[in-house]
Amino acid sequence: MEKQEKIVSMFDDIAPTYDTANRVMSMGVDRSWRKKACDLSYSYNDSDSVDMIVDVACGTGDMMDYWRKQAQVGGIAVGKIVGVDPSNGMLDVAKVKFPNFEYHTAKATEIPLQNESADILSITYGIRNVVEREAALKEFNRVLKKSGLVVILEFMKNENPSLLGQIRDFYMNRILPKVGGFISKNLEAYEYLPNSIETFSTVENMQNELKDAGFEILYTQSFSMDISTLIIARKL
């Protein structure tokens, strides 16, 4: 089984317990990161209406719901919110939770949408699971309208961690896999998480990859001991 297919199969397996494990492991702080990503993106979009938002690697749909809720808070009219994920198991959960959104089973490199059709494209805690990342970023560029926004929330690799960063790494490497493994009954899946971060890109490299794919970086910030990083970029 190729690497990408193995990752998809793993997410199919943990889909039923994914939300519970995430809430416990993040202690709920991911909610504030998601809200900030949505609010900032809407402010950069500089319009009171959005035709379409696409959430790639949408998983069980949480980020799509944040796009909806924060639009309501900001008085922004959103035409359509579309979720794309290669895992049918994750999408099955999303469709029960949020039946009013549109969903497509597809890879990040093969988004079944027309050229220049989306105003905003997000991928939250999913880009590190995309094996062909360069091709995916080019696909994001294809789907986005001119001046459209790509929004990335991700666990980035930190090559020179501070003391707080070392505490974070201990939590991510030693404690988190055991908690996630206990809840999901799949230790291997949650051992994959810290390993995938360790082999993933640094913030600087991710910014450079976005620039190479035709984007201008608008905003970058790391949160909560650099556990999570938000990057917002505009299609040139």
Query: What domains lie within the chain, and their CATH numbers?
Result: 3-235 (3.40.50.150)
Q: What is the mean pLDDT of residues 10-17?
A: 69
Whether residue 66 is predicted with pLDDT greater than 60 in this model: the reply is yes
For 202-230, the DSSP string reads: BHHHHHHHHHHTTEEEEEEEEETTTTEEE
Whole-model pTM: value is 0.85
How far, in Å, are 34, 66, 74, 139, 140 from residue 49 at the CA level? 20, 16, 10, 24, 21
Residue 170's pLDDT band (boundaries 50, 70, 90)?
A: low
Report the half-sphere exposure of 81 (CA within 13 A, side-chain side).
Answer: 25
Residue 5's pLDDT band (boundaries 50, 70, 90)?
A: confident
> Between residues 13 and 137, which one has the greater pLDDT?
137
Whether residue 229 is predicted with pLDDT greater than 80 in this model: the reply is yes
The 10s digit of each residue's pLDDT in 100-124 is 999 999 999 999 999 999 999 999 9
End-to-end Cα spacing for the chain: 37
Say if CB 219 and CB 40 are below 8 A apart.
yes
The 10s digit of each residue's pLDDT in 171-210 is 666 666 666 666 666 666 666 665 666 666 788 899 999 9
Say if CB 211 and CB 234 are below 8 A apart.
no
Residue 46's pLDDT band (boundaries 50, 70, 90)?
A: confident
Compute the distance between CA of residue 210 and CA of residue 234 in angstroms, rounded to an integer. 9
Cα Rg for the chain, rounded, in angstroms?
17
How far, in Å, are 82, 87, 130 from residue 105 at the CA level? 11, 7, 15
What is residue 52's predicted lDDT score, i.e. its pLDDT?
98
> Between residues 131 and 159, which one has the greater pLDDT?
131
* Of 37-51, 74-88, 149-163, 180-194, minimum mean pLDDT range: 180-194
Say if CB 162 and CB 170 are below 8 A apart.
no
